[in-house]
Structure 1
Amino acid sequence: MINFAQVGNDLYTGKRSIDFIKRQKTWYALSAVLIALALVGIFVKGLNFGIEFSGGSEFRVQGVTNSQGYEEKAQAAISKSGIEGNVISTIVGQDTVRVQSEAASDRTDEASAALAQQFGVDKSAVSASLIGPSWGQSVSQQAIRGLIVFLILVTIVMALYFRTWKMAVSGLVALLHDLVITVGIYALFGFEITPSSMIGFLTILGYSLYDTVVVFDKVRENTAEAFRTKRMTYSAAANLAVNQTLVRSINTTVVALLPIAAVLFVGFTLLGPGTLLDLSLALFIGIAVGAYSSIFIATPLLVDLRRNEPAVRELAKYVERHGAKPHVAGQQGSPEPAVVGADATGAASGTAAVSSVPSEGGARPVHKYAQPGPRNQPKRAPKSRR
C-alpha cells in the first residue's frame, strides 16, 4: 500500500523528484490540444446560452406523475398553441417539468392550457414567465467588465509582490488557459450557460490564482536560496518547489472537489437544472483545470521566460563548472560552497587558499599548507629577567 505521507515527505525533501520542468514540452502539447478542442467547440459548435441571454417564455408544470415522454409532450403542446421555434424541456426535481420556448406573450394562456392537458394536471399547476434578453446581456457585460478589471489588478499585484513581471505573465497565462478550457468544455458537451455559470467562471479564476501564487511563493524562496548558495540551477530550484507543493495542491483540490461533486450528484439526480447545479458544474470543471495549470503550466512557463536572463545563465554555468550538488530543502550539515575564483589546485589568483570550514570551537581558519608540530604553536612570551 502506498504511504502518501512518506511520498509527500520525500518529494518535499528531494529524496524523490518528478521532473516537471524538463518535460514542459509535453505539458505544453497537451494544453495546446485541449485549447484547440475548446476553440473548436466555442467557434464551430457554439455556446448554448440559456434563456436569460436569448430571451423567451418559460413554463413550469408541477405535479407531473408520469414524466415518460415529457419532451414529446412539451413539443406537442407548444406547437398546438401556435408558438414556433425550438423547445427545450427538462425535469426539475421529482415532479416538475420546465419548458422553454420562443417568446410569445400573446400565446401564454394557450400554451399553459395545452401543457396542462398534455401532462394531465390542472391549469393552475402551470406557471409561465416571460424573460427578456436585456437582463442576460447586462449580466454578460458586467461579467466581462469585472474580468478585465480582475486581470489588470492581478497582473499589477503579482508583479509588485514577486518583483518580476514574468511571474505575473505566467500566472495570467495560466488563468486564461483555465478559462478557455472550461468554456470550451461547456461548448463541446452542450452545457447550458446561465448567469450562474458566468459567476462560476469568475470564481474559478480566483481559485486558480490562489493555487498558482502558493506554488510561485515556494519558487521564489527556493530560487533566492539557489542564487545565494549556488548549489543548484534556477530550473532545478523551481522544479523542487513544484514537488514540494505538489501534495498540498492535490489535497486542496480533492478537498474542494468532493463537496462540489456531492452537489452535482444531488443536482443531477434530485434537483434538476437550476442555479445550484449551474454554479457547481462550472466550479468542478474550473477547479480541476486550475490545479493542472498551476503545476504543469505556470512554473515551467516561468522557467522558460527567465532562462535567458544573465543571472540565471551565470548560475547554470557556475553549477555546471563546479559540479555542485543540489541542496535539499531543510537538510542539515550541508557543506558550504566552494570559494569563488579558486582554481583546480585550490589557490586563488595571487592569494593563498584558506579552508572555508572553521575548526572546532570557532578557532581561526588553518592555512592549507600548515604542518602540525611546534612551529605552528603560538610563541610563548619570554620570561622576564630579574
Structure 2
Amino acid sequence: MHFKKEFNFVKMSKAAFIFSIVITIAGIIALAAFGLNYSVDFRAGSNVDVKLSHNVTKAEVQPLLDEIGIGKDATVSPGDNRVNIRFTKVLSPEQDDQLKTSIQKLDKTASFEINTVDTEMAKELGRNAIYSVLISCIGIIIYVSIRFEWRFALAAIIALLHDAFMVVAIFSIFRLEVSLTFIVAVLTIIGYSINDTIVIFDRIRENLRFGKQKTREDLANLLNHSVNQMLMRSLYTAFTVFIAAFFLFLFGGESIKMFSLAMVIGLIFGAYSSIFIASPLWLFLKYKQKPKGKAVKPSKA
C-alpha cells in the first residue's frame, strides 16, 4: 500500500511514550508524598463567601480573623468586591456570628454565604467522584468494543486514563486546589478525549476496510496516513476549545479558575494522546495479532 510522504507518528510516538512515562512517574511520586490539595468540598470545614461594596485586601481581613481566634485555620482569597475565606474546621454558630460582626467593620453592607462540609459528607463526595470516573470508563469500554473491536477499546481507555491522570498529576505536583469543579473538568476532558480518539479510530477502521495490509510496515503506514488525514481536524477542534477555556481561566471568576485550568491542561493532553498514545497503542496490539511478515487481516466493521 503506497502513501505519499507524511508525518511519521509511529516513529514520534516513542518520544511521546517516554514523555508520558516521566510525567506519570513524577505524578505518582507527588501523589504518594503530598497527595492532592483538596478544597473544603472534599474535607471537613467551612467556606465563607462575602460580597462587599468595595474591594478589600488580605492584610485588612486577616487581623480581624486573628482577633476572634480563627485566623490560623483560615485561607483568605480577595476578589472583585468580594472575599472568600476557607476554614479547615467547621465554624460554630457563635464563630459565624463573630465573623460576620468582624467583617462588617470593613463594610456594613456585607452579605455572607456560609457553606459547611462535615467529615462524612467529604468522604462521600470523594467516593462519588471516583465512582463517576470509573462508571464513565466502563461505559466507554463497552461502547468502543461494540462499535469497533477490543484493541481499539483498550487503546482508547488507556489514553483516556492517561489524560485524566496527567491533569491529576500536574495538580498534585504544583499543589493546585482540587474542588468539585475539578471533577467536572476531568469528566468533561474524558468526553472530549474519547470523542477525538473515536474520530481517528473511525478513519483507521475505514482505511483498514479498503486497504490490503500484508506486513507490519503496511499497518504503520496506514496508521500514519489515517492520523495525517484527521490531523488538522483534531488540531482545529482542540485549539478552538482551548482558546475558550484559556480566556475563561484568565478572566473568569475565582470559583471557576481551577475548573478552567484543568480544562486547559486536559485539552492539550487530550489532543496529544489521541495522536501519540491511543493510535500507536492500537498499532502495538494489532502487531501482536500476527507474527512479523505475515498478512494482517483488516478489523471487522
TM-score (norm 2): 0.87
| 2:64 and 2:103 in contact (8 A); partners too | yes
**1:18 alignment counterpart:** 7
Cα distance in 1 between the residues matched to 2:130 and 2:236: 31
Q: Deviation per CA, 1:19-66, whole angstroms, max 9, x where unpaired?
A: 111233211101111212222332223211111221322333433645
Q: CA deviation at 1:89?
A: 1.2
8 Å CA contact retained: 1:307, 1:313: no
On the 8 A contact 1:74/1:99 being kept in 2, the answer is no
Q: How does 1:181-260 map onto structure 2 within 5 Å?
A: 181-227=166-212, 233-260=218-245
Which residue number corresponds to residue 23 of structure 2? Answer: 34
Q: Work out whether residues 214 and 294 of structure 2, in 8 Å CA contact, stay in contact via their aligned partners in 1.
A: no
Aligned mate of 2:65, from 53, 78, 81: 78
Task: Identify the residue that residue 9 of structure 1 maps to in structure 2.
Answer: none
Any residues of structure 2 matched to 1:261-300 within 5 Å, and which? 261-267=246-252, 271=253, 273-274=254-255, 276-300=256-280
Cα distance in 2 between the residues matched to 1:64 and 1:41: 41
Question: 1:240 and 1:65, CA in 2 relative to 1: closer, same or farther beyond 3 A?
Answer: same
The Cα of 1:261 is off from its aligned counterpart by: 1.8
Residue of structure 2 aligned with 1:50, choices 32, 39, 56: 39
Taking a change above 3 Å as real, the CA distance of residues 110 and 168 of structure 1, as seen in their structure-2 partners, is same
Provide the residue aligned with 2:95 in structure 1: 107
Summarize the Cα distance change of 1:126–1:169 in structure 2 as closer, same or farther, 3 Å threshold.
same
Q: Is the 8 A contact 2:77 2:85 kept in 1?
A: yes
Report how far residue 127 of structure 1 moved.
1.5
- Is 2:49–2:84's contact at 8 Å kept on the other side of the alignment? yes
Residue segments in structure 1 that go unaligned for 5+ positions in a row? 1-12, 317-386
Q: Does 1:90 align with 2:77?
A: yes
Alignment partner of 1:314 is 2:300: no
In structure 2, what residue type is equivalent to 1:315? Answer: A
The alignment-based identity, stated in percent, is: 27
Structure 1 distance, partners of 2:129, 2:212, is: 42
The answer to whether the 8 Å contact 1:136/1:195 transfers is no
Shift of 1:142: 2.5
CA distance in 1: counterparts of 2:201 and 2:290, whole angstroms? 21
Displacement of 1:189:
2.3
Judging by fraction of residues, say which structure has more helix: 2
Q: Which stretches of structure 1, 4 residues or longer, exceed 4 Å deviation after superposition? A: 228-232
Query: Which residue number corresponds to residue 330 of structure 1?
Result: none
d(CA) in 2 for partners of 1:228 and 1:96?
A: 63
The amino acid of 2:223's aligned partner reads A
**Are the equivalent residues in 1 in contact too, given 2:52–2:111 (CA < 8 A)?**
no
Matched residue pairs, number?
292
CA displacement 1:69-97 (0-9 Å, x = unmatched): x33333322221122643211123x2111
With normalisation by structure 1, the TM-score equals 0.69
| Larger Cα-atom Rg | 1
Stretches of structure 2 lacking an aligned partner (at least 5 in a row)? 297-301
Bigger relative contact order (CA 8 A; separation at least 6)? 2
Cα-to-partner distance string for 1:157-202 (whole Å, 9 max, x where unaligned): 211211x311111101101100110111112222221111111111
Contact map agreement 1:64 1:95 (CA 8 A) in 2: yes
Match in the other structure for 1:177: 162
Opposite residue 188 of structure 2, the aligned amino acid is: T
Shift of 1:251: 0.6
* Cα root mean square deviation, aligned: 2.4
**1:381 matched to which residue of 2?**
none
Out of 235-244 and 220-229, give the one that drifted further: 220-229
